Structure 1
Amino acid sequence: MTRRTTLNLPQLRAFLAVVDAGGFSAAAAELGMSQSAVSHAVASLERELAAPLLIRAHPVRTTVLGERVLPHARMALSAVRSVEQLAAEATGTMTGTVRLAATPTVCQGLVPGLLRHWREDQPLVTVRVFEGDSSEVSAWLEDGTADAAVLIDPPPATAGSYPHPGVQLATDGYRALLPRDHPLAEEPAIDLRDLEDDPFLISPNGCEARVRTIHRLAGLRFSPTHRVRDLATLISMVQAGIGVTVLSEVSRSLIPADLVLLPLKPDTSRRLVLTGPQNRLWHPALRTLADSAAGHLAHTASCTAGPAVGQPLPSRSG
């Protein structure tokens, strides 16, 4: 006779938290539980399945079975969130924790303002931020590590996805970053061709594909002198006069006083869109946060002279 297993949501929630946080201690902090309670929940899940799901190392890793269980556990919690959403919409009260992923420049340039607005507008919703490069952010949203993300130029919402296309937070133009004592620093705009003789710096984990496109549009060969991983290092090297680079407008808050960020020709930009996963239901609180962000942007645009920083995308019918 086959033994019948009895699983429960706290077990699955603890298992996912340990995997996503990389350890029991971090998972306990994420869940607001004691570490022993998290350990007990995962151990009881493993007993029910009669096999280990995790390799207790630093960081914690999944076993072969744990890797297979992972997507099903995410789907189970997603279904529960859908039920919670129905109840929340019926009562008009939204609560929960949303994990938001974004790139470093977005985290530092746009996210703080969003967090301030959401804290005032949706005080019962907690937003936790995960910072990664573009490929990591997309992967986290796809595999359920993140509930939401600010994506760069995402494709249009596809049929079968959650009926909310997301919110365009900004149209983010590209700019030339130069030392303030550079001969062209006082120009109203910079033609990339005028920087052809300057050593060019690039961060491979940033917007290299788009910077390559800008060079192609300008008829220039893309041949960076230095490649640095960290954005702060890139900015420091420009400060030191080692070279120049191209960053997006959202980076402006990170630029020190001895550097200038100037409009660039050819003129190119990217869309920064707050969205959820395309192929599964959104976290119950995410649509509320997206609608809140859209309203905030519309209000900001109506109160500000000149073009809006960003505007909500049109809602999709259905």
Structure 2
Amino acid sequence: MAPTVPQLRTLLAVVESGSFTAAAQHLGVSQSSVSRTLRALEEDIGGVLLDRERANAPTALAGELLPHARAAVAALDALEGSVRARSGVPEGRVRLGAVPTVCQGLVPGLLTVWAARLPKVEVSLFEGDDDEIPEWLEMGIVDAAILVDPHPDPAGSVLVGADEYCAIVRRDHPLAGEKAIPLRELHEDGLLVSTGGCENEVRRIHAKAGLPFDMRQRVRELATLVTMVHEGLGVAIMPRLGEVMLPKSLLMVPLEPTLGRRLVLSGPTNRAWSPLAEALVGALRAG
């Protein structure tokens, strides 16, 4: 039997939330209903989709099904959004993807604007790294995304912000009071890098400075990076918007040389935009 839309929505809810309980809360049903729906889906397709012994991690079979499930649900959501849009009042849930520094430093202000101008639109935030966000947008995991330096800007997109990369040091660092820290001198303390975002840009800054890319430690999460700098294990480079993530013991100082980045809100390029994604962009264009 072909999977039903409720079955696909349930599978996606569990995969995205990581638990049956959270999926049930999101879908507004009981946990037992989630379990029954997934069991029926597994019976219909003839295989196990979630590894219950590994925190409901998707199986290989689920990996094959998920892209199609996301595309189908995204298309249906777009259709439902188009029907609602005929009333003239955007309504429903829209999924927005963004990198951690943007989630922390830019999105809260945007949510305030959208809440005022689109009161019936619920924005669900999906946080990922620089490489994940564009993929999520094209795969239908999110309906809209704030892209970092897209080339070129997608048609219909809007610029929502810009910042530059800075050095992160402890407040007791000898160079903390400088107007700018040369990249060469920053290396004397040992550079810490996060694979969860910004590593490609840090490499570009090194190329711009004519310096070899050399690091002391590589971690995934920006939060881990910040903690390591706080503990005096090295220094780091982050976008200016990430300043809100820093404890009082750390300081952002301009970096020389540096790079700027542009932040662009867009829908996908491989399919029609959700009307709610269009509404997010339109609300910001309205000033």
What SS class does the counterpart of residue 119 from structure 1 fall into?
helix
Backbone CA RMSD of aligned residues: 2.7
**TM-score normalised by L of structure 1:** 0.78
CA distance 1:195–1:21, change in 2 (3 Å): closer
1:246-289 superposed Cα distances (whole Å, 9 cap, x missing partner): 11111111223333212222231112222222212223311101
1:159-207 superposed Cα distances (whole Å, 9 cap, x missing partner): xxxx52x222211201122222333322222332343433222223221
Whether 2:107 is the aligned partner of 1:111: answer: yes
Quick one: distance in 2 between partners of 1:34 and 1:25?
Answer: 8
> Which amino acid letter does the alignment assign opposite residue 279 of structure 1?
N
Q: Note the residue ranges of structure 2 that are not aligned, 5 or more in a row.
A: none
Whether 2:132 is the aligned partner of 1:136: answer: yes
**What is the aligned counterpart of 1:208 among 178, 181, 199?**
199
Quick one: distance in 1 between partners of 2:253 and 2:161?
Answer: 18
1:220-262 superposed Cα distances (whole Å, 9 cap, x missing partner): 2221123233323322333344332211111111223333212
Whether 2:52 is the aligned partner of 1:61: answer: no
Q: Which residue of 2 aligns with 1:275?
A: 266
Percent identical across equivalent pairs? 45
Q: Which residue of 2 aligns with 1:172?
A: 163
Q: Is the 8 A contact 1:23 1:60 kept in 2?
A: no
Quick one: distance in 2 between partners of 1:227 and 1:6?
Answer: 45
Quick one: distance in 1 between partners of 2:224 and 2:35?
Answer: 40
Instruction: Give 1:50 shift.
Output: 6.0
Q: Which residue of 2 aligns with 1:289?
A: 280
Instruction: Give 1:52 shift.
Output: 4.1
1:63-109 superposed Cα distances (whole Å, 9 cap, x missing partner): 63x55544443333333333323323321121111222222222211
> Which amino acid letter does the alignment assign opposite residue 284 of structure 2?
A
CA distance 1:191–1:230, change in 2 (3 Å): same
Whether 2:46 is the aligned partner of 1:51: answer: yes
**What is the aligned counterpart of 2:238 among 223, 242, 247?**
247
**What is the aligned counterpart of 1:199 among 157, 175, 190?**
190
Q: Which residue of 1 aligns with 2:120?
A: 124
Quick one: distance in 1 between partners of 2:41 and 2:232?
Answer: 57
Whether 2:23 is the aligned partner of 1:32: answer: no
**TM-score normalised by L of structure 2:** 0.85
Quick one: distance in 1 between partners of 2:216 and 2:148?
Answer: 26
> Which amino acid letter does the alignment assign opposite residue 128 of structure 1?
S
CA distance 1:211–1:6, change in 2 (3 Å): closer
Whether 2:225 is the aligned partner of 1:228: answer: no
Q: Is the 8 A contact 2:168 2:229 kept in 1?
A: yes
What SS class does the counterpart of residue 134 from structure 1 fall into?
coil
Deviates more, 1:52-61 or 1:100-109: 52-61
> Which amino acid letter does the alignment assign opposite residue 239 of structure 1?
H
What SS class does the counterpart of residue 285 from structure 1 fall into?
helix
What SS class does the counterpart of residue 101 from structure 1 fall into?
strand
Radius of gyration: which is bigger? 1
What SS class does the counterpart of residue 237 from structure 2 fall into?
strand
Q: Is the 8 A contact 1:174 1:263 kept in 2?
A: yes
Quick one: distance in 2 between partners of 1:244 and 1:79?
Answer: 45
Q: Which residue of 2 aligns with 1:264?
A: 255
Quick one: distance in 2 between partners of 1:17 and 1:233?
Answer: 27
What SS class does the counterpart of residue 251 from structure 2 fall into?
strand
Quick one: distance in 2 between partners of 1:60 and 1:222?
Answer: 35
Q: Is the 8 A contact 2:85 2:91 kept in 1?
A: no
> Which amino acid letter does the alignment assign opposite residue 277 of structure 2?
L
Quick one: distance in 2 between partners of 1:263 and 1:19?
Answer: 40
> Which amino acid letter does the alignment assign opposite residue 11 of structure 1?
Q
CA distance 1:27–1:283, change in 2 (3 Å): farther
Quick one: distance in 2 between partners of 1:105 and 1:280?
Answer: 27
Q: Which residue of 1 aligns with 2:90?
A: 94
> Which amino acid letter does the alignment assign opposite residue 59 of structure 1?
N
Q: Is the 8 A contact 2:85 2:275 kept in 1?
A: no
What SS class does the counterpart of residue 189 from structure 2 fall into?
coil
Quick one: distance in 1 between partners of 2:186 and 2:74?
Answer: 50
Q: Note the residue ranges of structure 1 that are not aligned, 5 or more in a row.
A: 300-318
